[in-house]
Amino acid sequence: MTPRALAFTLNGRPCRTSAPVHWTVIDLLRDGLALTGTKYGCGEGVCGTCTVLLDGEPVRACLVLAARLDGRALETVEGLERDGSLHPLQDAFAREGAVQCGYCTPGMLLAARALLAEHPAPTDRQVREALSGNLCRCTGYVKIVAAVLAAARAAR
């Protein structure tokens, strides 16, 4: 089976690679590019832990074929920090104690990043709606919502 050649932007940098055509984005990230920050959960688009940003919109890395990356911009949790400093959302999650086991955290961060890009000053309800597709089985939602609201305040 011929691999599909791919050229896309990964966390702000050009990326040229290839992937078997039956690979989804998460296969490419974890196994092709050794970027294991994106977690594999249900594989059916339900749990949200593999959420990444494609052209700024949240998508499920387990549902999107790797071929769909060509020519587009992908952002993963590895792209959040800048010059060794945590992204304000990461900082807020740490400060608020919004991480328990941590498995949902990468997806939560990227879903929240998409929200803050569209609504820099979201309401509590908007945060909950934006995170409605991201499950935390430690059920630590209260602090996760608080962290997103804190990051939004810190950015103002």
| Complex with another protein: residue 67 or 86, whichever CB lies closer | 67
**Tokens describing residue 83:** 């010059």
Give the nearest distance from C-beta 68 to another protein in angstroms.
Answer: 6
| Complex with another protein: residue 90 or 134, whichever CB lies closer | 134
Give the nearest distance from C-beta 72 to another protein in angstroms.
Answer: 10
Query: 47-82 burial string, b = 16+ CB within 10 Å, else e?
Result: bbbbbbbbeeebbbbbebebbbbeeebbbbbebbee
Give the nearest distance from C-beta 150 to another protein in angstroms.
Answer: 21
| Complex with another protein: residue 54 or 147, whichever CB lies closer | 54
| Complex with another protein: residue 18 or 86, whichever CB lies closer | 18
Q: Given phi > 0 = left and psi -120 to 50 = alpha, else beta, which region is 107?
A: alpha
Residue ranges that bind another protein, judged by CB under 8 A: 1, 4, 20-24, 27, 40, 43-46, 48, 51, 54, 57-60, 62-65, 67-68, 111, 114-115, 125, 129-130, 132-134
Q: How many CB atoms lie within 10 A of CB 102?
A: 13
From the list 124, 122, 137, 127, the residue with the least C-alpha distance to 48 is: 137
Give the nearest distance from C-beta 58 to another protein in angstroms.
Answer: 4
Phi, psi angle pair for 34, to nearest 5°: 55, 30
